[in-house]
Amino acid sequence: MRPIQEPDVIERGGVVGAGCLLVAFTAIGVLTAAEVQSCAHTASGGRPFTGSAQLDPPEEIDAIELGRFVERPAWSTRDAEAPELETFGWVDREAGIVRIPLDRAMDVVVERAAAGPGGGSP
């Protein structure tokens, strides 16, 4: 004779209630942690968190550093550097450093590399 097994029934209300409590406590914990972090950040001299992506840059950044982020058309940089990439000239006459066209520099490196080990370095 087999023993009678009780039905495996869990009350739905208890599970739903426990789930709702878990979600509520998690939300309260996250909000509390965010507020504590914001207060600690502000108390240590930082600016308050606003949630806005349009914040001013920090005061410790100079105008020189901000100048790097100014929008410039790509052609202006390319046109300004083009003569230096295509002409011979002195970079530092006293040190004996010269500038040669980019195509010629690549040919020199290839010739030196073909000559033997360690020859490809400028």
User: Which tens digits make up the pLDDT trace of 63-105?
Assistant: 555 555 556 565 556 566 667 778 888 888 898 888 888 888 8
Place of tokens 């009350």: 11
pLDDT of residue 38: 81
Rounded CA separation 113/119 (Å): 5
Rounded CA separation 9/13 (Å): 12
Global confidence as pTM: 0.34
- Phi, psi (deg, nearest 5) at residue 90: -90, 135
Q: Which region among 22-36, 53-67, 94-108 has the lowest average model confidence (pLDDT)?
A: 53-67
What percent of the chain stands above pLDDT 90?
15
For the chain, what's the residue count? 122
* CB-CB contact of 87 with 101 (8 Å): yes
